[in-house]
Amino acid sequence: MREAHVERSTKETAVALDLDLDGTGVHTISTPVPFLNHLLAQVATHGLVDINLRATGETAIDDHHTVEDVGIVLGQALRQALGDSRGIARYGSAIVPLDEALALVAVDLSGRAYLAYDVSFRTARTGGFETSLVEDFLRAFATNGRLTLHARMVAGRSSHHIAEALFKALGRALCQAVAADPRREGVPSTKGAL
C-alpha cells in the first residue's frame, strides 16, 4: 500500500493530507486558496493519485504560508508513500499544452532535493492568486519530497493557463515516476539506495 497521512500544524496553518499513489485521481481538496485547490486537482486528476486535503491558514496577510505549507506536506506525503522506492520507475516527464500555454516538467525521485524553475508569468496575479507562489509551492514540494524537479514554460500568455499547464504536467510526470516497473526488483539506482 503506497499511501501516506501527514499533518502539519503551526501558528499560521493547519494541513492534513491523505495521499494514495495507486489511486484513480479521486480528490477532495479544501484550502482557503481557491486557485491552489484548482491546481492540486490537476495533479490528482492527471497524476492518477488520490488526494484528500484539508488546510486552513492565515490568509488575511497573504496566501504564502498556506501555499508553502501545503507544498511541504505534499512532499512529505510523497516521500512517506514511496517508502524505500523499490520497484519504481523513478523518472518522469511531461510536456502539456493548454491552449496557447505549453509547460514542461521533469522529475527524478532521487532522494536529492532540487528545483530548476524557468517560468515567466505575464501578470503578478491570476484572479486573487499571486503567480510567484507557484515557485514557492514547487520549491517546498521538491525540498520535502526530496526530488529533483525541473519546471519550464515553453510558451504562454495567460497566467492561469501557464500555471494550470505546469500542474497538469507535474501530475503526468509524477504518474510516470511513481509507477511500478515489474522488471525492477530493487531500488532504481546503481548506488543501491535513493
Q: Give domain status of residue 166, yes or no.
A: yes
> How many domains does the chain fold into?
1
- pLDDT, tens digit, for every residue of 60-76? 788 999 999 999 999 99
Least confident of 45-49, 61-65, 92-96, 141-145: 61-65
Q: What is the pLDDT of residue 184?
A: 81
CA distances from 149 to 29, 87, 190, 193 (A): 23, 20, 20, 19
Res. 28: pLDDT tops 80: yes
Q: What is the mean pLDDT of residues 102-130?
A: 97
- pLDDT, tens digit, for every residue of 174-192? 999 999 888 888 777 667 7
Q: Residue 13 belongs to what domain range?
A: 3-178
Q: What is the mean pLDDT of residues 7-12?
A: 95
